[in-house]
Structures are given as structure tokens and as C-alpha cells.
Amino acid sequence: MSRADEITPAPGEPIEVGGVTVPPGERGEVEIHVEQLATGPWISLPTVVLNGRLAGPAVCVTAAVHGDEVNGVEAIRRLLMELRPADMRGTVIAVPVVNELGFMAGSRYLPDGRDLNRSFPGTPRGSLASRLAHLLMEEVVSRCELAIDLHCGSGRRGNLPQIRADLDDQRTLEAAEAFGAPAMIHARLRDGSLREAATQHGVSMLLFEGGESNRFDPYAIEAAFDGVRRVLEHAGVIDGAPGTSTRTFVSRETRWVRASRGGMMRLAVELGEMVERRQVLGGFSDIYGRRNLAVRAPVDGLLIGMNRNPLVNQGDALFHIAERAEGAEPERG
């Protein structure tokens, strides 16, 4: 075998998803049926398969596991407009809206109140959440070596663009570094989550958080869009992904600051700020103006999440601070 033969990528192979076969160099759109509604239509997993002309790894990208998290849907839409299977190596399987019913209702949950991201890996004969989780795992995630799941803050809480992943796994760490988000956080697996199920299948999983629910956040959308492309370039699927201009903040420990009493909140900081212990993050008072209580940072760190709702009850999560990992390099000035 010549040296030229050794470095020439092999041609791609057809891939079947949801009963539809997509040839190399082609794009396929698949409606994977989940469950039939009382009025007749099917709940589906709308899936797009981009099968590269040349052989390579399989990567899946998902969004709207929580139906009100629309930033990831927009990031995947942009991704699908840009990628060309004829120029790719390997396969990208994209599911822009996993929780179709929640998405249409603007709700985080399924109609029965279940959180889909606590229902994995699911079963083929269980509840709607369980069936949906099972199909996503069987038809999409289990076919891939790498998965990226796009999320944002719930309620009125906003998140700085960040990657949450198992940073102790070398392959996952390298993918997280390639993503290039402003923050990268070592996060434990949650029972019933997509990330836990994917990890048990041997799939490296990145969970992206950015922005808040039911609202487009251009900064978070751009961070997700660019980050996914950088991971695809890192995996060898595409060329020409954008570079990064800032260093990623690495953390292994985060802390929520909660309201010690109820009242009306005024913010004194913004997402992405470096804060110091005892720094004032905001203040709240009762509606009669009799109290003005400062909320202070308990530790030094990066502000990665905050509650933008001015009305808070005792115990509500207000600010989320990531502490710098030991040995991590400081941010550039």
C-alpha cells in the first residue's frame, strides 16, 4: 500500500435512522414516530441526518429536551443551514426539538408533568417520557461516538454559555476544550439524565448551557453554534471552524447563593463577571421599602448563572458562582 493510499479517507457508508437510509454525501430528514395522539397525529422526533461523503465519526446534536429552551433550536437551525454532507467526513445526526409537545406549549415539561431529562434511558412500553427517551437513545445517541446536548436556564434564570461534562474523561475533556465556551465545569451525572444514559453507552457527552428559557439570546446562540462547529472540526468531521478569542474558565465546584428572605431583587452584577468574596451581587427589600438587604458573594469566582426575576421568595436561587479549579490558569486581562 502506498503512502497516498494510507492517508486517503475511505468513502462513507449508508446510515439508517428511523427506518430511512441516507447514502454518503446526502442529507435525510426523518420523522421518528413516538406516540399517537387522541386526535390522530403522531408525536415525533424530527431528525436530520447529514451523512458525509467520506468515512468518519458520528456526532449527534440535540436541543429542546426541555421544550422551552429555544436557544439550542436556533443554533441547530443555523448549523443545518451551513453543513454540506458532500464536504464532510462522518455523520452528524441533529434533533433540533426533542420534546415536541413541550416546545409547542412553551413548557419545560411534557404534558403529564414529567421532566424528560430525568426519564433516560427509558423503555419502549412506558410513559410518553420513557418512550421518547428510549427512541432518542436507540435511534440517535447510541449510533454516535460523541453527543452535544444544548440547554439554557429554566424559569427567569439566565446562564453564561458553559460546558458541563466529565472532565476526568480524557476524550470528553478534549472535546470540551475544543468547544471553547467561556466556562467549562466538571459536573456529576444526574440520575435519569440524557448525559448519564449516553455515558453508560460509551458516548462522550457535552452539555451546553447558555441564556434563558423562551427567549432568544444572541450571545448564547452564537456560542453554541460556534462551539459545536469547533467540536466537529476537532472530531475531523468538518474544516474551517471559527477560533476562540478568550480562555475558558475551568471549575470543579459551583455554589448557588439563595435568598434568605422574600422581597424585590435589584441586580448589581452581570453574567460573566469575576466576583470576589463579600462583593455585593445585588440587594432586595420588601414592598414597603422598610428593608434593604445586600446579597454578597460567599466565594471568589465567575458568575455563571443568575435569577433575573425581580420577585423572589425565601430560598430562591439568585446567583450561581463557579470557583476556579485548582491549578487552572487565571483569565487574561
The mean pLDDT value for 65-88 works out to: 97
pLDDT at residue 2 in the model = 37
Structure confidence at residue 333 as a pLDDT band (50, 70, 90): very low
- Indicate whether 295 pLDDT > 60: yes
Q: What angle do CA 29, 33, 36 make, to 5 degrees?
A: 145
Q: Which of 63-67, 110-114, 224-228 has the lowest mean pLDDT?
A: 110-114
The mean pLDDT value for 306-320 works out to: 94
Burial class (CB in 10 A: 0-12, 13-18, 19+), 57: middle
Structure confidence at residue 330 as a pLDDT band (50, 70, 90): low
The mean pLDDT value for 86-90 works out to: 97
The CATH label, of 2.40.30.10, 1.10.10.1150, 2.60.40.420, 2.40.50.100, for the domain at 254-324 is 2.40.50.100
The pTM score is 0.93
The chain-wide mean pLDDT, for the chain, equals 92
What pairs with residue 46 in β-bridges?
31
Structure confidence at residue 32 as a pLDDT band (50, 70, 90): very high
- Indicate whether 6 pLDDT > 70: no
Classify domain 10-234 at the CATH topology level.
Aminopeptidase (3.40.630)
pLDDT at residue 244 in the model = 82
- Report residue 115 as a C-alpha cell: 421532566
- DSSP reduced 3-state for 293: strand
- Report residue 133 as a C-alpha cell: 427517551
Q: Boundaries of CATH 2.40.50.100 in the chain?
A: 254-324
Q: Boundaries of CATH 3.40.630.10 in the chain?
A: 10-234
